Structure 1
Amino acid sequence: MNTRTPRLRFAPSPTGYLHVGNLRTAVANYLFAARHGGELMLRMDDTDLARSRPEYEAAIQEDLHWLGIPWAQFARQSERMDRYEAAAERLKASGHLYPCFESEEELAAKRAMRLKRRLPPVYDRAMLALTPEQRAAAEANGKRPYWRFKLSGDTITWNDLVFGERRVKLPSVSDPVLIRADGTPLYTFTSVVDDLEFGVTHIIRGEDHVTNTGIQIDLMAALGGKPGDIAFAHLPLLTDAEGGKLSKRFDSLSVRSLRKDGLEPDAIIAYLARLGSADDMAPLTRAELADSFDLGRMSHSAAIFDPRQLLAINRHLLHRLSFAEVASRLPPEATEGFWLAVRGNLDLLSEARDWWRIVTGDIVPPAQPEEAEFLRMAAEHLPAEPWDAATAGAWTKALGAAAGRRGKALFHPLRLALTGEESGPDLRDLLPLIGRDRALRRLTG
């Protein structure tokens, strides 16, 4: 592994909201940097001017702030076009970048012909034979060239921090287009220029970039960089429960949707940190997650994103939060006693407001005509205030003896009448919060 101070980057394209698949990459970079004393850079890969939007960039930054993922440096690729132009000129001068004029139709015909001959559909490098006169004639006819990078033809090998030894045979890959005919540089190119110039030491991204990595290592060498100075890790992709690739089209899996649904940022980070690894899921602190984060323990198989597991992490995290940690997000009048009473029954913090309404507001319990006599008896047995944690036990013991009831037959109608819910926090804790007057009204209808 590289011995320099780790410098990592998270480089989203601001073409949509931050999605859990992309966030998983951010979490891995963030925790790796935290564990190894490094720093994280946020880079907006926004050279796709047709699709990039400032509102998406702002949303990505807002989501990362909410999640508590800090960055030490920020950059936009759209503000670095001069650096890409300078790098492109160096590649042209060294013969690594060559102009091409084929149309999409011509390229498609070539691919079809090679497939028909049972050959791999690799670009044939026909434009390498283009003479200066032919290029001038094409440009005179209104054509503008796009530019391809001439791959070395080597087999690129690296020690992946997740998968171990990986290799890409460049002869089986088409020379990539680095610059479009309109002069716009593509990701494959801009990313390498930035990684070299910003001194990135570790690149952690999805497994779908493996072939890209082989190409980019070759490109790094052509630009005078030392590819061995950068370590790579490729995370297996995330799938849904049916094994399909997670799609950005599923708004329910955007960070802002999870936030709107009431998920805690620490739960999201804890879940994604362990997803697809050999380590058990647990609602760990950031420090605990960073200390235990190990790319070598990642599975080589795709990981299934299971919202139920995320909710379970969220539930466990809520159950151990103190009142001081959540007071600002509860109703202003909520007390520590209320929080301690309800937190063990919450999946989402937003549910605490529902319980506050139940214990302090007006509710309409479901009708229980068959229990009318029993509820009348329950009202008659209500003890005088003040009430405390022992009140519910004494009340239900006396009521059970008088009514000849116990278990569900005793407690279920009482819970329905007092809370309107089939289940929830222990009546021992709820009853003092509800109070005698409110309890009496609910029991007597």
Structure 2
Amino acid sequence: MERYGSDTEGEDQERPLLRRGNEDRVQRAPVCCSSRYGLALLSSYGFFVVYSLRVNLSVAMVEMLNSTHQPNVNHSGSLCPAHPSPARPKHNHTASLYDWDSATQGWILGSFFYGYILTQIPGGYLAGRFGPKWLMGLGILGTVIFTLLTPIAADLGASYLIAVRVLEGIGEGVTFPAMYTMWAAWAPPMERSRLLTISYIGAQLGTVIALPLSGEICFYLNWTYVFYVFGAVGLVWFVLWVFLVFDSPNTHPRISERERLYITNSLKNELSTSSGYIPWRSIVTSGPLWAIVVAHFSYNWTFYTLLTLLPTYMNNILGFSIQQNGMLSALPYLGCAVTFLTISSALGGVSASGFNINHLDIAPSYAGILLGITNTFATIPGMVGPVIGRALTINNTIEEWQTVFFIAAGINLFGAFVYTLFGRGNVQPWAVRTSHSAHGD
């Protein structure tokens, strides 16, 4: 998963990431009503849309299944003994139901990531070459359109739903690399971590709000409206993005001259990739980059396992209703509840803030490309995690689900060990070469 930045503003002001000459004497532009903070808020809205469209199926899936044909859900040993199944209130069941087995559910939940992985590295490259505004805008618009088509696809069959989810993933795959490229032109180094934090907190909010809201929508309307409501929210974002966002301060028609000069002057000594030269060999052999890859992969294994399977676990093992399910599934990502799952996800948010901004720490000029590389590997857990999880929980017993959580814990420990040993926080030599350097890479 792809989010946040650590708040190290005081340190950044005294010790910038790169050599910037007289930047300290550049006059700062006000924060209030500024274009750069407007971009941060609108991109945060965009990532809210991205994650709400990604997670809503996890809750809707519980309501899409024909429970009378789901085997072994209520046999002895499947429900948590400490939490007997509560009485479930009657709610709207006017939408279609489907007889999908555990394996099919796993493929549906994981199919998004098969498209998502395809556009990670191309997304970083295309954003740098053609501009990030339209790449991100059209990517999310495509995801919105296919989200609105989800109920139709489900009626046509599981294979059609899988295809639609793959196409959604293709659209969303460009968003994080494109936004990293956007911030390379918009974020003054002394404000970089703050702007990125505002921007990527939208992803967390998308998870926290979409999960419980999806449960309420399923209860009072039906599961199809989950996709219609969030799809409409995405359409509103696209209109705002088209009219209010521009690729760089120099192309923004309404930015103040003071802010434009502040941003461009503070970034003038940062290495630009406009020459087209990318030190690929140095990038792919960089130890600190591979440390980020391992950390990102490990974090996402737990994140995507909980994101896609937690509503099913809440329903089948803990016996919560669809209303309770959405809220309780969101609590781990909000960071205040009463279970070890909550503690795990809350700590995961802390770790993500470290390795995510690390892309900008080691190579600011190539952050979009680096994010594309690490996110490619970090998407694999989303592809295989739900499939493995559902394959291991065919009978929905507590013991089977414990195996799923133990696997996630082991992968997390490995990632923490590798990142501690090989992670770095300084700009790498290959990332600060001038455009006329030897092109041996």
Normalised by the shorter chain, which TM-score bucket? under 0.3
Question: TM-score, structure 1 length as denominator?
Answer: 0.22
Q: Which has the higher strand share?
A: 1
Question: TM-score, structure 2 length as denominator?
Answer: 0.22
Q: Which has the larger radius of gyration?
A: 1
Q: Which has the higher helix share?
A: 2
